[in-house]
Amino acid sequence: MFVYEKKLQYPVRITNTNPKLAALIISQYGGPDGELGASLRYLSQRYSMPYPELKGLLTDIGTEELGHLEMIGTIVYQLTRDLSEEDIRTAGFDSYFVDHTAGVYPTAASGFPWSAASMQVKGDLIADLTEDLAAEQKARVTYDNILRLSDDPDVNDVIKFLRAREIVHFQRFGEGLRLAKDRMDAKNIYYMNPSFDR
Amino acid sequence: MYAESTRAMRENAMSMPAEAESTSGAAPANNGNGAVCQNGHGCLPGPCANLAFPFIAMQPENARRYGQKEALREGTLFPGLNLPFHRELTSRFPAVNTALSELMALDFAIDELGLYLTTHRDDEDALALFRSYIQLAREGREKYVAAYGPLLQTDDTQGGFTWLDDPWPWERGGND
């Protein structure tokens, strides 16, 4: 089960209201490469993982991603505090505001709501871990793009932390794949699916 | 069990002195194939590797580590995995050095070591460090809870059901 701890993994302290930036950052909350999809992908993939290191990795990283979801939600919330009449008419934020006011809703910046179609659980460790490697890279690029678009140092301080985590997770998923390979058929790693075939 | 990767890591570790809590003095490591691995590099299992399979180098044991505050600021415990983007600004954390940020730093080091141990379960030095950080965090947590209120709903605090007290982590003052 999960137990809530009443603190963030890394401090979020945003000084300035900036609804336009919030409407971009929301993509890491509910977009195709965001933290909600990351946590559900890993926490769902772990059931069909055959080896303890892989169960551990997906549990650890999936749990950490839930903490990142909370950090992104906090950034969006703090960027949209104290909105003025003028703020809610900001191009790019007005179309979000009309549906959600100043609530935090899992959607991509494009307006497409969070969809399980942006993730996969294939039930095959090579396919799933290879997807996870790609997922970490796609999230890393989204953070790169946020750093290109944002000039708010309070926001960027948090984004650079989250970006660094993607690289560490990529490394660990790669190591997980390496450890799994050592237990599979040495000549033909595609001989069988150890999650399914007996 | 996972002989190839573990053997390669051990060979690497033997020629790489431990430098916990330090960022200086990079020592090259021999990967067993005559090649030399610098910090931030690792070794493939041998001169031959499977086709049609992606390889990420195993992080060697005894890789250099940051102290916990620097680790939280950089987003990783390991200098070798710190690969920043050119547009990053210098982080200001922890400009405000609070009891909460100290606890965050300890908890982050624990998270990062726990994740490392998931793929390096035989690294006894890392396991010992993991345990010592857990002990430090346990003490820090008790002091924090006594001074500022519960982190878990079950934390024992005086003065009623203070779990509900503002600020929550996303609110103003929730990270000070």
In a domain, A11, yes or no: no
> Of all residues in chain B, what percent carry a pLDDT higher than 90?
59
Residue B124, sorted as left (phi over 0), alpha (psi -120 to 50) or beta, turns out to be alpha
Min Cα separation A80/chain B (Å): 12
Q: Are the beta carbons of B54 and A144 separated by less than 8 Å?
A: no
Question: Chain B interface, mutation test: which of A137, A168, A170, most B Cβ atoms within 10 Å?
Answer: A168
- Determine the residue of chain B that is closest to A15 in CA distance: B172
Q: Are the beta carbons of A60 and B114 separated by less than 8 Å?
A: yes
In a domain, A116, yes or no: yes
Looking at residue B3, its pLDDT comes to 46
Q: Which of A144-158, B11-25, B59-73, B82-96 has the lowest mean pLDDT?
A: B11-25
* CB-based contact B32:B12 (threshold 8 Å): yes
Min Cα separation B157/chain A (Å): 14
Residue A100 has pLDDT above 70, yes or no: yes
**What's chain A's average pLDDT?**
97
With H, G, I as helix, E, B as strand and everything else as coil, classify residue A121: coil
> What confidence tens digit (pLDDT) does each residue in A9-24 have?
999 999 999 999 999 9
Q: Are the beta carbons of A9 and B4 separated by less than 8 Å?
A: no
Give the residue among A8, A77, A2, A70 at the shortest CA–CA distance from A34: A70
Position B15 confidence tier, pLDDT thresholds 50, 70, 90: very low
Give the residue among B22, B109, B101, B117 at the shortest CA–CA distance from B61: B117
Q: Which residues of A touch B83 (CB under 8 A)?
A: 164, 167
In a domain, A6, yes or no: no
Position B90 confidence tier, pLDDT thresholds 50, 70, 90: low
Looking at residue B44, its pLDDT comes to 66
Among A12, A13, A144, beta carbon nearest to B85? A144
Q: Which residues of B touch A173 (CB under 8 A)?
A: 56
In a domain, A39, yes or no: yes
Looking at residue B14, its pLDDT comes to 37
Residue B12 has pLDDT above 60, yes or no: no
- DSSP for B76-131 reads SS-GGG----TTPPPP-TTSS--HHHHHHHHHHHHHHHHHHHHH-TT-HHHHHHHH
CATH number of the domain that residue A25 is part of: 1.20.1260.10
In a domain, A72, yes or no: yes
Min Cα separation A107/chain B (Å): 19
In a domain, A195, yes or no: no
Looking at residue B47, its pLDDT comes to 67
Question: Chain B interface, mutation test: which of A6, A49, A80, A145, most B Cβ atoms within 10 Å?
Answer: A6
Instruction: Give the count of domains, chain A.
Output: 1
Task: Judge if the upstream peptide bond of residue B167 is cis by omega within 30 degrees of 0.
Answer: yes
Min Cα separation B172/chain A (Å): 8
Residue B99 has pLDDT above 60, yes or no: yes
Q: What is the ipTM of this complex?
A: 0.96
Q: How far is CA B157 from CA A29, B126, B146, B150, in A?
A: 33, 34, 7, 7
Q: Are the beta carbons of B121 and A53 separated by less than 8 Å?
A: yes
- Using CB atoms within 10 Å of the CB of residue A94, give its burial: 0 to 12 exposed, 13 to 18 middle, 19+ buried: middle
Q: Which of A160-164, B39-43, B98-102 has the highest mean pLDDT?
A: A160-164
Cα distance between residue A177 and residue B4, in whole Å: 13
The residue range of the domain holding A69 is 19-181
Looking at residue A198, its pLDDT comes to 84
Residue B32, sorted as left (phi over 0), alpha (psi -120 to 50) or beta, turns out to be left
- Determine the residue of chain A that is closest to B87 in CA distance: A147
Q: Are the beta carbons of B88 and A147 separated by less than 8 Å?
A: yes
Q: Which of A63-67, A76-80, B22-26, B80-84 has the lowest mean pLDDT?
A: B22-26
Q: Are the beta carbons of A171 and B170 separated by less than 8 Å?
A: no
In a domain, A48, yes or no: yes
Q: Are the beta carbons of B176 and A13 separated by less than 8 Å?
A: yes
Q: How far is CA B8 from CA B54, B63, B128, in A?
A: 17, 14, 22
Give the residue among A144, A175, A169, A170 at the shortest CA–CA distance from A64: A169
Residue B6 has pLDDT above 90, yes or no: no
Rg (Cα) of chain A, in Å, rounded?
Answer: 19
Q: Which residues of A touch B81 (CB under 8 A)?
A: 164, 167-168, 171
Cα distance between residue B90 and residue A154, in whole Å: 11
Residue B93 has pLDDT above 70, yes or no: no
Looking at residue B17, its pLDDT comes to 35
> What confidence tens digit (pLDDT) does each residue in A62-92 have?
999 999 999 999 999 999 999 999 999 999 9
Unique residue bearing structure tokens 């039930």? A123
